[in-house]
Amino acid sequence: MGKKGEVKLIGTWVSPFTLRTRIALNLKSIDYEFLEEKAGTKSDLLLESNPVHKKIPVLLHHDRPICESLIIVQYIDEVWSSGPSILPSDPYDRAVARFWAAYIDEKWFPALKTIRFTKVPEEIEKKLNEMREGLSLLEGAFVECSKGKSFFGGDQIGYVDIAFGGLLAWLRVREKNYSVSLLNATATPNLAGWAERLCAHPAVKDVMQDPDKLIEWVQINIDKLQQAPPAK
């Protein structure tokens, strides 16, 4: 789907927020040109396309920019019917999906993002516990949203799958960084099964990052990084 040049995505392969938009585009079978930003720099196109936040990802559709990953995902869902609906059809289910996606961004992601700036062991443990508590809530959210099916979205990957799935490889990076297991078959059995199914999904498997390559990327780019993981 999509004529050549109709859809472009400004992002990076390491960005969890770019990943969200790539999964959504894949789900809808949209051809797009991937305009990869270099680490530590911002292209003129990015600065022109997102002058307020100056951040990736930006979707360009007929050269009109759409910014902010979850807004892009909703836009993709509303414009293209060439794949399963990303948001649930029922307004209440849609509100619940939006609630958990917002929870992930506003409450859960900050610990994942900021833990690397923390050096004090007690502070690190506090952040890890925040992540554990969030995963426990998301384990319950999975039961609520999936209704016994494979994904938060039911039979198909949906909004919460994309919101949470975008951050999955960076969660694995943090597990490796701190030699802990946070999302696993004992602590979060539903999420453990979900993560396996998600990573194997045709819309995800070719764009999901390899945690070891992310770690390697961080080591190479450590001087260029003001913040990690890359801000959306």
User: How far is residue 220's CA from residue 174's CA, in Å, rounded to a whole number?
Assistant: 17
Count of residues interacting with a second copy (CB under 8 A) = 22
140 alpha-carbon distance from chain centroid: 19
Closer to a second copy at the Cβ: 40 or 140?
140
User: How far is residue 123's CA from residue 121's CA, in Å, rounded to a whole number?
Assistant: 5
- Tell me the closest approach of the beta carbon of residue 113 to a second copy, in angstroms: 14
- Tell me the closest approach of the beta carbon of residue 200 to a second copy, in angstroms: 30
96-125: contacts with a second copy (CB under 8 A): 98-99, 102-103, 107
User: How far is residue 201's CA from residue 156's CA, in Å, rounded to a whole number?
Assistant: 10
**Nearest 5°: phi and psi at 225?**
-90, 120
- Tell me the closest approach of the beta carbon of residue 59 to a second copy, in angstroms: 9
Judged by DSSP in three states, 182 sits in coil
Which amino acid type is present at position 112? L
- Tell me the closest approach of the beta carbon of residue 203 to a second copy, in angstroms: 21
Q: How many CA atoms lie within 13 Å of 99's alpha carbon, on the beta-carbon side? A: 12
One of 46, 66, 169, 183 touching a second copy (CB under 8 A): 66
Closer to a second copy at the Cβ: 169 or 191?
191
Are the CB atoms for 168 and 174 separated by under 8 Å? no
* 68 near a second copy, judged by CB under 8 A: yes
H-helix segments, 69-167: 69-79, 91-103, 109-114, 121-146, 159-165
- Tell me the closest approach of the beta carbon of residue 62 to a second copy, in angstroms: 9
Are the CB atoms for 100 and 73 separated by under 8 Å? no
Are the CB atoms for 194 and 150 separated by under 8 Å? yes
Q: Pattern of binders to a second copy over 17-56, x per CB under 8 A?
A: -----------------------------------x----
One of 75, 156, 187, 218 touching a second copy (CB under 8 A): 75
- Tell me the closest approach of the beta carbon of residue 36 to a second copy, in angstroms: 23
Residues that bind a second copy in the complex, under the rule CB under 8 A: 52, 61, 64, 66-68, 71-72, 74-75, 78-79, 91-92, 94-95, 98-99, 102-103, 107, 137
